[in-house]
Chain A
Amino acid sequence: KNQVEQSPQSLIILEGKNCTLQCNYTVSPFSNLRWYKQDTGRGPVSLTIMTFSENTKSNGRYTATLDADTKQSSLHITASQLSDSASYICVVSARTGGFKTIFGAGTRLFVKA
């Protein structure tokens, strides 16, 4: 069964600290993995997209890693800011003739001053 599981469900950190969010997936055959940021009451916004051959990709203070062998990805946030408070969603797509894109339930991050 195609699944995307994210951990933790929620996380509280102090401003300025780093954190790492996890994503495990069973979607196959793998095509790409994306991370989205969703502010409360807003639509998701793309952070990174990685294909099978990419191990890491950065977008400012956000760095995503991918291990296609273990089917795991992580999103590392450096020097967190209050504006990083949001849900972070891992999305995995399969390489098929039709569509097969599975969204994780997200990790809710709270950054406190």
Chain B
Amino acid sequence: NAGVTQTPKFRVLKTGQSMTLLCAQDMNHEYMYWYRQDPGMGLRLIHYSVGEGTTAKGEVPDGYNVSRLKKQNFLLGLESAAPSQTSVYFCASILGDLNTGELFFGEGSRLTVL
């Protein structure tokens, strides 16, 4: 039972390049989330999904897109990377509601944009 798996773990991009981060969970959770973690700040929600085929914007969605074509996968895309998107990205999933359930996090994906 792997839990929440993120790929890749590290990536370096040049400004303007695009990429996709993949999150996979094997716990049959309905809700999935993408966060970014920056030094001195709490995790901030980028986008989330309450089920297969659904997505919604979080606190800091600009410059990112997401897709949830399969229940177990949640993809985060950067269309045109900017240095401000240098961060550590965490995917999380939850069985119940975000307000009541326990979040399970992946190990993180460290992205550097030059």
Q: A43-B90, A101-B98 are in contact. Are A4 and B103 (CB under 8 A)?
A: no
User: Hey, what's the 0/1 contact readout for A28-46 against B, CB within 8 Å counting as 1?
Assistant: 0001101010000111111
User: Hey, what's the 0/1 contact readout for A41-74 against B, CB within 8 Å counting as 1?
Assistant: 1111110010000000000000000000000000
- The one of B35, B44, B99, B107 in contact with A42, judged by C-beta atoms closer than 8 angstroms, is B107
The reply to whether A99 and B98 contact each other, CB–CB distance below 8 Å, is yes
For the complex, what is the distance from the CA of A53 to the CA of B69, rounded to whole Å? 39
Main secondary structure of the interface of B (DSSP, over half): loop
We find that the number of chain B residues with CB closer than 8 angstroms to chain A is: 22
The answer, yes or no, to whether A102 is at the interface (CB within 8 Å) is yes
Could you say which residues of chain B place their CB within 8 Å of the CB of A46? 102-104
Could you say which residues of chain A place their CB within 8 Å of the CB of B13? none
The reply to whether B99 and A45 contact each other, CB–CB distance below 8 Å, is no
Could you say which residues of chain B place their CB within 8 Å of the CB of A43? 4, 90, 92, 105-108
Q: B interface vs A, CB < 8 Å?
A: 4, 35, 40-45, 48, 58, 90, 92, 98-100, 102-108
